[in-house]
């Protein structure tokens, strides 16, 4: 399975913020959309990522007083990105090694979507369930005519 297959199932809806947007506005958008990340867009391109990790760090750094704090002040600049053709096993290793729960998917400099660790877990679970059903079906319909009970 490749990243593009996860994007195809999940969809490519993107939730965005701008660098000069107040962090409190971005937090409101994240809460209202029930998402853990926002793609930060500036000049028509991705300039960073804002995730709940950066939000929590900002809350801690500013002792809960976020008045005047902008997205640009806390976002991750130049986030790790992945291509749509990346195998999911490689994606999982990368997410774990980089401690990234959200990775933008880029192809030819164009943002295709964002993959979350939850998206990957769902896709792997569905793939394993499908394979399990196929194997059980194969065993039940064993070629020599004998049926095997599971």
For 3-140, CATH gives 3.10.580.10
Average pLDDT over residues 121-133: 68
Give the separation between CA 77 and CA 85, rounded to whole angstroms.
23
- Predicted confidence at residue 10, as pLDDT, reads 83
- Predicted confidence at residue 28, as pLDDT, reads 97
129 — pLDDT class (breaks 50, 70, 90):
low
Domain spans in the chain, listed from the N-terminal domain onward: 3-140
Local structure of 50: helix, strand or coil: strand
pTM of the model: 0.78
Query: What is the DSSP secondary structure assignment for residue 69, as one 8-state letter?
Result: -
- Cβ atoms < 10 Å from Cβ of 75: 22
Q: Please state, rounded to an integer, the average pLDDT across all residues of the chain.
A: 88
């Amino acid at each position: 399975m490749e990243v593009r297959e996860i994007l195809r199932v999940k969809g490519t809806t993107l939730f965005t913020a701008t660098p000069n947007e107040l962090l409190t506005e971005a937090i409101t958008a994240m809460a209202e959309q029930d998402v853990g990340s926002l793609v930060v867009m500036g000049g028509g391109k991705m300039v960073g990522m804002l995730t709940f990790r950066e939000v929590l760090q900002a809350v801690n750094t500013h002792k809960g007083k976020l008045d005047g704090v902008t997205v640009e002040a806390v976002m991750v600049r130049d986030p790790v990105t992945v291509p749509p053709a990346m195998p999911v096993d490689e994606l999982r290793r990368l997410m774990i090694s980089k401690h990234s729960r959200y990775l933008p998917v880029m192809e030819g400099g164009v943002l295709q979507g964002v993959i979350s660790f939850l998206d990957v877990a769902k896709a792997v679970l569905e793939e394993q369930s499908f394979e399990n059903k196929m194997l059980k079906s194969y065993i039940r319909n064993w070629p020599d005519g004998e049926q095997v009970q599971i």
